Each structure stands twice: as structure tokens, then as C-alpha cells.
């Protein structure tokens, strides 16, 4: 989405780190064990005007089935050509989401999307859950109480759900909000940490032994707080 730029910044940081720190053991492991295909921004038209939709007015993330937009067709073609084992679906969510019933905003929300209406599990989704669990465990020391799960209702038009259905173990990562971080520079760092943790779990195979409870026990996104609350006002004119 063109108005969800945190992950684009984090991906730029990831690519810079992979190129600038060749002696880092983590970089060496990732470069030896993985082949990465990175789409830093899928909606340049929307990004130019900070809009969710593209120039056609299409929500690309809901175009995975119809493929009415050139961006969706390009992403589907890339997926079909590469046949990736894993995928990261990177977004920003509204910063007003609460982590469960707490008073804390959700900083990062994770999801291993379902591949059907019944929300069944299969080896593809289980691998995604393992990666998400590893990311959750990595972030928890810094973001305890600020991690959540996105709603796992199946959406037959969404790329994350259909990527899972097509056989790519997909993890949704939503950057939310942290108090005092209006420009999302802290979230940019945590998103980078999350992506690196996920890649490491894939590279060394630790996703297979990750405790699924680290994912399943995350609270769901709670009630969205309003951006502005006005109390004690007098309304003049027609309601």
C-alpha cells in the first residue's frame, strides 16, 4: 500500500546491511544459505501521493484473484517464476490498535495467514507459523505487551492468503505504533529486526523447532483507539 512505508525503509536498511557488513556472521549465513527476491515498493503510484490504492483506484493487496492491476500481475508473475519457499507480506496498520485488551498500542502484529475458509493447517502454513513464532520470541524482550496477531479470517482476494494457498509459506508483518514515534523510526528498526530474525530462522532451519505458542499466544489486535476525542462540547446547528 502506498501509505504504508515503514517496511520499505526497513528493506533499504536490510539491503544496506547485507552489502556493508560482509564480515558479520549473520550476513555471511544469510548470503550463503538464502536467495532473496526483494520488492521494496509495489505501489509507486500510491506512494507518490501517500495513498493506499494505485492510480487505477485499486487496492493491490485485494487484487490477488482478479489480477486487474499491472502491479498485482507483476507480483503474481514473480511468485510463479521464482516459486519461493517463504514470503514476507509487509504492511503498516493503524497505530491506534491495542495489543489485546491492554492499554498499549500494538507495535508489531504478525500473522501466518490461512489458506482456506476453515483456517486449516498444513505444512506450508506450519512453516509460516514457525517463522512468526521465532520473530515473536526475538521481539518480545523489547516489545513485551506490544505484540499482537492480526485477524486470521480467510480473504480469497488477499495476496497473503493466496500466497499461502499457492504453496509459499507467508508471514504477514504489520508495523503499528509506538508512543512518541510519529515518524516510525523506532518501528523501522524493529521491522528490520523482525525481518532479519525471520530470515535467520529460515536460513538455519530453526523455524522447524520454534515453539508455536510464541505465535498462538499473542493477543489479537484489540479495539482501535480514536485519533481524537472531544468531550464536553456544545454542538450548534443540525445534527
Contact predicate 45/62, CB 8 Å:
no
Cβ neighbors of 117 (< 8 A, separation 6 or more) are 154
- Residues 93-104 pLDDT 10s: 999 999 999 999
pLDDT score of 238 more than 80: no
Percent of the chain with pLDDT over 70: 100
CA 189 to each of CA 17, 18, 176, 211: distance values in angstroms, whole numbers, following the listed order: 12, 15, 13, 24
From CA 233, how far away is CA 18, in angstroms rounded? Answer: 54
Q: In angstroms, rounded to a whole number, what is the distance separating the alpha carbons of residues 88 and 66? A: 21
CA 123 to chain CA centroid, Å, is 20
* CA 47 vs CA 5, 11, 20, 50, 80: distances in Å: 8, 15, 27, 5, 25
> Contact at 8 Å (CB) between 168 and 113?
no
Judged against a pLDDT cut of 90, whether residue 76 lies above it is answered with: yes
Q: What is the pLDDT of residue 239?
A: 62
pLDDT in tens, 25-34: 999 999 999 9
Grid cell 514515534 is found at 181
Specify whether the CB–CB gap between 125 and 228 falls below 8 A: no
Q: How far apart are CA 169 and CA 183, in angstroms?
A: 31
Minimum mean pLDDT range among 3-12, 148-157, 165-174, 225-234: 225-234
**Quick check: 184 pLDDT over 80?**
yes
What pLDDT, on a 0 to 100 scale, did the predictor assign at position 136?
A: 98
DSSP 55: T
Q: What is the mean pLDDT of residues 37-61?
A: 97
- For the segment 198-221, the average pLDDT, to the nearest whole number, is 97
- What is the distance between the alpha carbons of residues 158 and 72, in angstroms, rounded to a whole number? 11
Q: How confident is the model at residue 213 (pLDDT cuts 50, 70, 90)?
A: very high
Per-residue pLDDT reduced to its tens digit, 156-170: 999 999 999 999 999
Work out the average pLDDT over 30-51: 97
Grid-cell match 552489502, residue found:
19
C-alpha cell recorded at residue 17: 546491511
pTM for this structure? Answer: 0.94
What's the mean pLDDT when you consider all of the chain?
Answer: 96
Burial 11-35 (b: 16+ CB within 10 A, else e): bebbeeebeeeeeeeebeebeeeee
Amino acid at each position: 500500500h502506498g501509505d504504508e512505508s515503514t517496511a520499505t525503509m526497513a528493506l533499504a536498511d536490510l539491503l544496506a546491511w547485507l552489502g556493508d557488513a560482509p564480515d558479520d556472521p549473520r550476513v555471511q549465513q544469510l548470503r550463503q544459505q538464502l536467495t532473496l527476491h526483494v520488492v521494496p515498493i509495489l505501489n509507486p503510484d500510491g506512494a507518490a501521493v501517500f495513498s493506499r490504492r494505485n492510480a487505477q483506484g485499486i487496492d493491490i493487496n485485494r487484487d490477488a484473484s482478479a489480477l486487474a492491476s499491472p502491479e498485482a500481475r507483476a507480483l503474481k508473475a514473480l511468485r510463479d517464476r521464482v516459486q519461493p519457499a517463504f514470503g514476507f507480506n509487509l504492511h503498516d496498520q493503524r497505530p491506534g490498535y491495542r495489543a489485546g485488551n491492554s492499554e498499549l498500542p500494538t507495535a508489531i502484529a504478525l500473522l501466518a495467514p490461512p489458506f482456506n475458509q476453515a483456517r486449516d493447517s498444513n505444512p506450508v502454513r506450519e512453516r509460516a507459523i514457525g517463522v512468526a513464532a521465532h520473530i515473536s520470541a526475538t521481539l518480545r524482550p523489547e516489545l513485551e505487551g506490544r505484540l499482537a496477531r492480526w485477524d486470521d479470517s480467510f480473504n480469497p482476494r488477499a495476496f497473503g492468503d493466496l500466497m499461502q494457498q499457492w504453496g509459499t509459506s507467508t508471514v504477514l508483518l504489520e508495523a503499528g505504533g509506538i508512543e512518541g514515534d510519529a515518524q516510525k523510526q523506532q518501528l523501522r528498526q524493529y521491522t528490520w529486526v523482525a525481518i532479519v530474525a525471520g530470515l535467520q530462522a529460515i536460513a538455519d532451519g530453526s523455524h522447524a523447532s520454534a515453539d508455536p505458542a510464541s505465535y498462538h499466544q499473542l493477543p489479537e489486535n484489540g479495539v482501535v483507539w480514536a485519533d481524537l476525542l472531544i468531550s464536553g462540547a456544545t454542538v450548534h446547528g443540525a445534527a
